[in-house]
Amino acid sequence: MSSTRTERWARLRKSLGFRLTLWHSGLFLAASVGVLLLAYVVLGTSLRAGDRAEISSELKELAAAYSERGEVGLRAEAASQQLLPPAVAFIRLLRPDGRAVTLASPPPAPTDDFDLSRLRAPSSPGRIGWSRAPSAHDEDVLEVASLRLANGSVIQAGMSTEAREGFLERFRETVAAILLPVALLAIAGGIFLTRRAMSPLRRLIETIRAIEAGSLKSRVLTEGSGDELDELGVLFNKMLDKVGNLVAALRGALDDAAHDLRTPLTRLRGGAELALSGGDPKARDEALADCVEECDEILAMLAGLMDVSEAEAGALKLNLEDVDVTRLLIDTADLYQEAAEEKGLHLTVAGPDGLCLRADRGRLRRAVANLVDNAVKYVPKDGSVRLSVAREGDEIVVRVSDDGPGIPPEDLPHIWDRLFRGDRSRSQRGLGLGLSMVRAVAAAHGGRAEVASRPGEGAVFSIRIPEA
């Protein structure tokens, strides 16, 4: 049992919530003690300043009375002071010959209870000096102001600090009494605020655990407060949505890849079986040649996937050179001229001569070829496919346009995705990498790929690459 409690305590000490509670409670308690200590210092200073101001005022009145009427006036002023509430309770005259005359002593303690030898008078006339005389029986102190007159006499006035110290002692007792409630309040506030602050993190942890358990549709509950932790939950949910979409796309892509690779693999196996069956050497050679062709097609598919992945990761290496873009379009059109003529398509090229671009010739030609290949596949008989290039601002723009069936609006946001096939029936061969490669090549050159299309009005694909 004790070991279990020790382990729980160890886990609690390591938790972020415990540390936040400890820090909040400690800071709150330290701040409270600091404020109370400051209040005590300010209160003590204010009381002392008030006492000294009162003593100084009475001392000046005593000096004025002594200057006007001598010791008679001084005794009268001292006597009137004794009729007031206890304030300046000690009054003494030091004559020029050194004799001391006590005119008032602090009640209830007599003057003899204080060590008056500690009192010092200023050496210069007109100046007020301060000194303290401790009591021989308790902690009481007599605080005295001394004023030297022009004839050498010294008038001293003061009061006991007993009332002031008693008030401060009651203040200290009050502070000590409220420290425990303040500490409990600090701990309770720390626990409350920590729970409030940690609740979004706990929900995040619960969601992650649910996802680990297989509930991929779990999402973090957000409060809509708009603070940083709430924003973290929103971003985490968006990331989960994106991951979910990627997983769904990956599953679909794997299904599509399996479907599209099944045919060439089946033909490859059939060719291999035919070659192994022996028989006519000519037929065997043809079967092996077909196997090589199917292998090349499969390798091309895998290479396309790798190229798109590298390009999207920004790791695609380009062999840059000066490329005559118009010439490149003409060469690409020549490759598809025969296929276009078989379908009765009109394939044309337009562009100024000598329009050059610093680019990777092979990859740019492949990107354009992908666009032309799609157009030739999907444009109906007697349609047209147009290749053009132009300089627009600081960009070179290559366009491949057609008057085919166009792209459905629901497919437009997805046509650039890897392995996306708008042709759900798979009536046309392909792996759905062509447009992904187009976009990846454009991005690798610092440009972008665009499309404009309406159903029944054809499509216009553009590759925009900065000229610099």
pLDDT at 7 over 70: no
Beta carbons within 8 Å of 386's beta carbon, 6+ residues apart: 348, 349, 350, 399, 400, 401, 402
Compute CA 66 distance to the chain's CA centroid, rounded to the nearest angstrom. Answer: 76
Task: Note the pLDDT of residue 46.
Answer: 93
Work out whether the CA dihedral 279, 285, 286, 290 comes out positive or negative.
positive
Do residues 403 and 379 make contact, with C-beta atoms less than 8 angstroms apart? yes
- If you average pLDDT over every residue of the chain, what do you get? 80
Choices 3.30.565.10, 3.40.50.300, 3.20.20.140, 3.40.50.740: CATH for 320-466: 3.30.565.10
pLDDT tens track for 409-452: 887 777 776 655 555 444 445 555 678 888 888 888 889 899 98
- Per-residue pLDDT for 190 more than 70? yes
The answer on pLDDT for 13 being more than 60 is no
Q: What is the pLDDT of residue 139?
A: 76
pLDDT of 386 reads 93
pLDDT band of 328, cuts 50, 70, 90: very high
Please, is 458 exposed, middle or buried when counting C-beta atoms within 10 Å of its C-beta (0-12, 13-18, 19+)? buried
Task: Please work out, in degrees rounded to the nearest 5, the angle formed at the alpha carbon of residue 297 by the alpha carbons of 300 and 348.
Answer: 80
What is the pLDDT, as a whole number, of residue 427? Answer: 46
| pLDDT value at 209 more than 70 | yes
CATH architecture under which domain 17-167 falls: 2-Layer Sandwich (3.30)
Domain map (residue ranges) of the chain: 17-167, 228-312, 320-466
| Residue 330: per-residue pLDDT | 92
Q: Indicate whether 304 pLDDT > 80.
A: no
> Which residue do the tokens 């000066």 mark?
322
Q: What is the pLDDT of residue 211?
A: 79
CA distance 148 to 155: 7
Residue 180 pLDDT > 90: no
Task: List b or e across 369-378, with b for residues whose CB sees 16 or more CB atoms inside 10 angstroms.
Answer: bbbbbbbbbb
CA–CA distance, 408 with 422 (Å, rounded to integer): 9
Q: What average pLDDT does the segment 136-161 reach? A: 86
Residue 264: predicted pLDDT: 72
- Angle, CA of 324, 371 and 257, to the nearest 5°: 130
Q: Are 103 and 94 in contact (CB under 8 A)?
A: no
pLDDT of 89 above 50: yes
Q: What is the pLDDT of residue 424?
A: 46
Burial of 88 (0-12, 13-18, 19+ CB in 10 A): buried
| CA torsion through residues 173, 177, 178, 183, sign | positive
- What pLDDT, on a 0 to 100 scale, did the predictor assign at position 110? 58
Task: Give CB contacts under 8 A, 24+ apart, made by 258-267.
Answer: 259/426, 260/301, 260/426, 260/429, 260/430, 260/431, 261/298, 261/301, 264/294, 264/297, 264/298, 265/294, 265/298, 267/294
pTM for the full model?
0.47
Q: For the residues 114-129, what does the mean pLDDT come to?
A: 84
Least confident range of 143-147, 176-180, 307-311, 451-455: 307-311
User: Domain spanning 228-312: which CATH class is it, in words?
Assistant: mainly alpha
Give the model confidence (pLDDT) of 32-52 as tens digits: 888 889 998 999 999 999 888
The pair of three-digit structure tokens given for residue 373, joined into one six-digit string: 């290949």
- pLDDT for the residue 6: 64
Query: Of 1-5, 75-79, 151-155, which range is least confident?
Result: 1-5
Q: What share of the chain is helix, strand, coil (3-state, %, to 5)?
A: 55, 15, 25
Question: Which pLDDT value is given to residue 269?
Answer: 77
What does the pLDDT look like over 248-267, one tens digit per residue?
A: 756 655 665 666 677 677 77
Give the span between the Cα atoms of 213 and 224, in whole angstroms: 27
pLDDT exceeds 70 at position 357: yes
The tokens for 108 are 């209830």
- In whole angstroms, give the CA distance from residue 463 to residue 372: 13
- Pick the most confident of 94-98, 276-280, 399-403: 399-403
pLDDT at 246: 63
Residues 6+ positions from 51 with CB-CB distance below 8 Å: 143, 159, 161, 164
Q: Do β-strands 320-324 and 356-360 pair in parallel, antiparallel, or remain unpaired?
A: antiparallel
**C-alpha Rg value of the chain to the nearest Å:** 49
Say yes or no to pLDDT of 397 above 90. yes
pLDDT over 60 (residue 109) = no
**Phi, psi (rounded to 5 degrees) for 226:** 85, 5
Which tokens go with 199?
Answer: 């609740």
CA-CA distance, 309 to 331, in Å (whole number)? Answer: 27
- The arithmetic mean of pLDDT across residues 21-33, rounded, is 81
Helix (H) or strand (E) holding 160: strand 154-160
- Res 272 pLDDT > 70: yes
Burial of 49 (0-12, 13-18, 19+ CB in 10 A): exposed
Cα–chain-centroid distance for residue 194? 19
**How confident is the model over 151-156, as a mean pLDDT?**
88
- Name residue 384's beta-bridge partners: 346
